[in-house]
Amino acid sequence: MSSASAVIHSRRCFLLGLVASTASGCAHWLPSRKEPEPRKSTILSQELAPDTVGIESILLRLSSVESQQMPDLWAYADEQVLAPEPRMLLDRNGLRAGKFSGQIPAIVQAWVAQNATRIEQDPMEQAGVVADVSSFSQLWRCRPDQRKVLTVRNLPKETVTLFYNEEGFRGGQFPAPHFLFSLYAKPNGPQSAQVLLRPEVEYGQTRRSVVAKDSAIRTEERRETLRWESLSLMLNMQRGDCLMITATGEPRGIGEHFFRTRSKEGEIQDVILLVRVAELNAPDEFSLANNGSTSLR
């Protein structure tokens, strides 16, 4: 099987597998970066690492019809998990966040099914060239103080003008921007995890620098990075809880650049990011029920 076919097949397995598993009361997302391996033993039969958290992230690009259901979806989300002041700051920057407790709403399950149909029927969707955001899932093994990068949009051939509110109204031009979230997660007691998400943008040309780490000297390639510390989201989440982040109804600022994309046909589409606590004390490898096993990143 070619690498392109493997990615297409894996994405189909993820999208259809989620619908099947959530319908049976067990919501698990499969990563789309890798072919499923033969089924192995469950997580309970493997040695657990006490300082790790298994996190699943998923990006969904919504059709115009699906976007009309966003008000219904927000009715299921708890936005009070954030204090009023952080919520207001997010809103001024075009961002909105809320948490689903325990399970994924049926609306999201329907979107996943519809997205699976689009991928099945459209070769351009299969190739990932319909827009600069593709619907896919990733599985992460997080340890304290270990950073993971959740890419939302990467525009290597564009320069964007971005304005934002952080200690005043600021802005500028950002060449070749890479819009991402830094993810940190660590156990917070036996039944919960502390999850931190920070929006960032990398931009400009790559520069090489010499770095000393772990008694060794090596070179690293880095770009300029703008980190919005005041927009960081830090939550205590139970296993199965899911955080949703997207743009406000009226697109503006950071939210517009992170969570709005234009398809090749010119359709403006909304994007949502879902971050779910899948496992506590996650081992280096664990299997997902009914869908084979995969390695955490």
The 10s digit of each residue's pLDDT in 102-116 is 888 999 878 877 777
Between 272 and 294, the higher pLDDT residue: 272
Q: Which residues contact 269 (CB under 8 A, 6 or more apart)?
A: 61, 62, 63, 64, 67, 131, 133, 260, 261, 262, 263
pTM: 0.76
What total number of domains does the chain contain?
1
Rounded Cα distance, 223 and 201, in Å: 10
Rounded Cα distance, 89 and 106, in Å: 29
Between 219 and 172, the higher pLDDT residue: 172
If you write DSSP's letter for every residue of 4-20 in order, what string do you get?
A: HHHHHHHHHHHHHHHHH
Section 85-97 average pLDDT: 97
The burial of 89, by beta-carbon neighbours within 10 Å (0-12 exposed, 13-18 middle, 19 or more buried), is given as middle
The 10s digit of each residue's pLDDT in 16-27 is 454 444 444 444
Which residue range(s) make up the domain with 225?
3-295
The CA-based angle 208-152-104, given to 5 degrees, is 145
128 pLDDT band (50/70/90 cuts)? low
The CA-based angle 156-127-183, given to 5 degrees, is 55
